[in-house]
Amino acid sequence: MKLKVSKQIFDRYPQVEIGIVTVKNACNFNKGEEIQNLLRKAEEKIRERISEEKVLEVPEVIKLREIYQSFGAKPRDYRSSIEALIRRVAKGNNLPRINPLVDLYNYISLEYILTAGGEDTNRVKGDLILDFANGGETFIPLGSNENSSPWGGEVVYKDDEGVICRCWNWREGDRTKLTEKTENAVLVLEDFNENSEKLLSALKELKSLIEKYCEADCEIKVINKENPEGEI
């Protein structure tokens, strides 16, 4: 199985780099408070740096809003995952405990101001592909059982069965979500501001944390215009 980025995506967004952590044989059930303590510290750092009124001044948020608009998504209706996280935290709300893999990528997302997500690779059908949607593909949002198809030209992650994340990183699908039963997964960090050093640091820390708290075997890779696919 591979994660592939289409040539059309890199033709339009050549600066994008996507870091992946492949996770094998994870113990992804909740245990202890250490991961929650990491999240609380990251949340406090965000609140110290970014007020609710200043969210739209964050460079990463600005860049993602520009990208969303370029493929037809109104930013006020389709907020990137990192904008949604920062807004929630800046308002004074803590992120809920979900499971270790999700909690750890949320921590890394806040700590490094990067978009992050993850999929259970046992539930992915064929390769995982980042591409422009044809329009009309099947997409069942997280926590729903109703179809919500993308429009033509929307940036999506998809596999052989349908779309698994809409508007690049706006909304995860239900079929491949990470649960406490997840053993094998791919976690994705995305950088849109050509900061390879930050992305690599984030990947290394996420790998280390997963190995520590989930007792998993992990590998990291970076996908970019020169290397548009990687084994997961």
Tens-place pLDDT, residues 108-129: 999 999 999 999 999 999 999 9
Does residue 23 have a pLDDT over 90?
yes
Residue 194 banded pLDDT, cuts 50, 70, 90? confident
What is the second-level CATH architecture of the domain 2-131+177-231?
A: 3-Layer(bba) Sandwich (3.50)
Long-range pairs of 199-205 with CB within 8 A, sequence gap ≥ 24: 199/17, 199/19, 199/112, 199/114, 200/19, 201/112, 202/19, 202/108, 202/111, 202/112, 202/114, 203/19, 203/20, 203/21, 205/108, 205/111
Q: So what's the pLDDT on residue 196? A: 86
Domain segments of the chain as ranges: 2-131+177-231
Q: So what's the pLDDT on residue 90? A: 98
Does residue 195 have a pLDDT over 90?
no
The mean pLDDT value of the chain amounts to 97
Three-state DSSP class for 123? Answer: coil
Does the predicted TM-score (pTM) go above 0.95?
yes
Three-state DSSP class for 80? Answer: coil
Tens-place pLDDT, residues 25-50: 999 997 779 999 999 999 999 999 99
Tens-place pLDDT, residues 129-187: 999 999 999 999 999 999 999 999 999 999 999 999 999 999 999 999 999 999 999 99
